[in-house]
Every structure is written in C-alpha cells, then in structure tokens.
Amino acid sequence: MHCVSFVPHQLSLTSVYWHYLAHYLACLLNWRLDFSLGFADMPLKYFQSDATDKDVVAALERDGACVVLNQVPAEVLDAVNADFRAPFDELGHWEEDDFSGYTTRRIAGILGISRAAADLVEHPRVLAAADAVLLRNCENYRISSLSGIEILPGEDNQVLHTDDSVYPLRLGNTQLQISAMWALNDFTAENGATRVVLGSHQKPAHAGLVDPIGAVEQAVMPRGSLLLYLGSTLHGGGANRSQGPRAGLINVYSLGWLRQEENQYLNVRREVAETHSTTIQRLMGYCRHPSPGGSLGSWQNPDGSWVED
Ligand SMILES: O=C(O)CCC(=O)C(=O)O
C-alpha cells in the first residue's frame, strides 16, 4: 500500500517539474520566435485590387506574404471551377499522404486541364511580383508547379512547410521561388484558408517541415483574391471545420536555372502546349535560359540548327 501511494506521488512531482520546465522552454522559444522573426505586430497585409505592384512587392518582401483582394472576375473562377470539377473527383484522391492530407483532393497538369486557369498563371499581378522577386537572380523564370487543391470538410491543418524545401540548397537571402495561391471559392477561417507564418522567410533555418509555436496568420479572403508568398515562407493549408470544400490553385514559379518541380513537358501534351500563349509556353519551359557558360535547356530544330531564343 505504502509503495503504491509513494510511486504516484513521485510521478506527480516529476511531472510538475517537467510541466514547469516545458512551460519555461515554450515561453523562451515563443519569445525568441516572436522577436527574432519579427512576428510581433505583423498582421497579414491586405491590398485592394488597384494597389500598385510596388506596394504589393514591398509588403511581400518585408513580411514574406500578402493578400491582394478581388483580382479576377467571377466568370474566370466559374470556368476554372468547372474545368477542375471532374479531375478533382476522378483523380484528386491519388495524392493522399501525411503531407497532402487524407481528405484533400489535388490535381496537377493544370495547363492541360483548364484554359481559363492559364489566365491565373499569367496574371499581370502575379508576373509583376515574380519579375521583382526572381529576375534579380535569373534571366527568365519558370512554372515550378501548378496544383489545384480542394480541402474537404474534416481535414486537419497541413504541416507548415516552405515550398523551396524541394531544393537541397540555401543561397543566403536569394529567393528560389515565389508562390501565388488563388482563392477559387471564399477562404474562411473555418474552411481552411491558407496559414502563413509572417517573417519566417527571414529565417532560412526554418526551411523544411517544421511547426513553430503560434504566430500563424490565416489568409481569409473572398474568391478571386490572391495570396502571394515567398518560397522560403512557412505556410500550410488550414483545417476545414466547415460543411463545404475550400478550393484553391497554387502556382509556384522558380528561378529559370532550377529544375521544375512538376514536369510541364510530360504533364501537358505538346499539342496542347502549342495552343497556349507565348508567355505561358515560356513559363512552361519552352525557352532557354542563358548562362555564363552557354545556355540551359537549348534544343535543335529538325534541320539541325540550334534554337537561339
Ligand atoms: O492548400 C493550401 O492552403 C496550401 C497547400 C500547400 O501549401 C501545399 O500543399 O504545398
């Protein structure tokens, strides 16, 4: 009897010590995250549709993410949603895992599925931001991946991650990628609006899959709005505690001398690629990237001449 009462007493004392130690460490860590990443007083910045690109890019680079409201009309969204419906239903479940979730539908090969989605891929607002962020470090940039994502009711928070963790390198403050999340329906706190950790791009050590304590903002925005974030910004899909799905399209662009995450040549048939605009074709990778030692991605015509553009 004596022994039995003694053991729980010891255990409870130990657990109290652990509780206080854990609490102390959490406070310390939270404090360090708050101040070293500049989380404090940094709410997600929202811009009206007519904001200048300069202001948008300044916020994006300062905070790692920002939202621009109401960038595309309802007709474009309706067309994209209609094009995505069957692929979401028929193919969307193929990418189910701990990262993507088990109650989320995902589709790729977007430029082969939806002509209307091309308007979102080459949208002037997005390209202006990509020009500003990426062209410092390349001559032209590419689509890295395009993903339709429909988070269904019951899904949990996705693990926070950075998109550029697909590349096994860090180059100081050089941004390897920029991402554009389009709200295809309203993004709400309940239905899984994307979560972003503002300021996290200033901490390259946070690349990869991590879940910091607190300081996560949700990009709540009406359909047709745009969340821009940097490749090194921690973010993730939100839990869907609503009754309906949350649909978005994430377009990721990367420096032109990096390998694309999604193979655009194989995921979109060549005859379909030929029907897209020259801008889209170049974004897909149908152009060279000049390099000091020659060029990357050059190809020959059937007559043997090398394509110079
Ligand atoms: O669905 C979202 O809001 C974000 C998804 C995401 O970041 C990803 O799957 O890489």
pLDDT of amino acid 257: 96
Q: How far is the CA of 2 from the centre of ligand 1 (A)?
A: 55
Q: pTM for the complete prediction?
A: 0.85
- Dump pLDDT digits (tens) for 276-292: 999 999 999 999 999 88
Identify the sign of the CA torsion 54, 58, 61, 65: negative
Query: What's the CA-to-centroid distance between 297 and ligand 1, angstroms?
Result: 29
Spacing, Cα 279 to ligand 1 middle (Å): 25
pLDDT-based confidence at residue 204 (cuts at 50, 70, 90) = low
Write out pLDDT tens, residues 243-270: 999 999 999 999 999 999 999 999 999 9
Query: Residue range 77-106: average pLDDT?
Result: 94
Task: List the one residue out of 231, 256, 253 whose CA is nearest residue 140.
Answer: 256
For residue 232, is pLDDT > 60? yes
Measured from CB, residues less than 6 Å from any atom of ligand 1 are 149, 151, 158, 194, 235-237, 248, 250
Which pairing describes strands 65-68 and 46-47: parallel, antiparallel, or unpaired?
Answer: parallel
Q: What's the rounded mean pLDDT across residues 213-228?
A: 89
Q: Which residue has the tokens 């709410």?
A: 43
C-alpha to C-alpha distance for 46 and 58, rounded to whole angstroms: 12
d(CA 48, CA 128): 16
Q: What is the pLDDT of residue 309?
A: 66
Closest residue (by CA) to atom 7 of ligand 1? 236
* Sign of torsion over alpha carbons 38, 55, 50, 110: negative
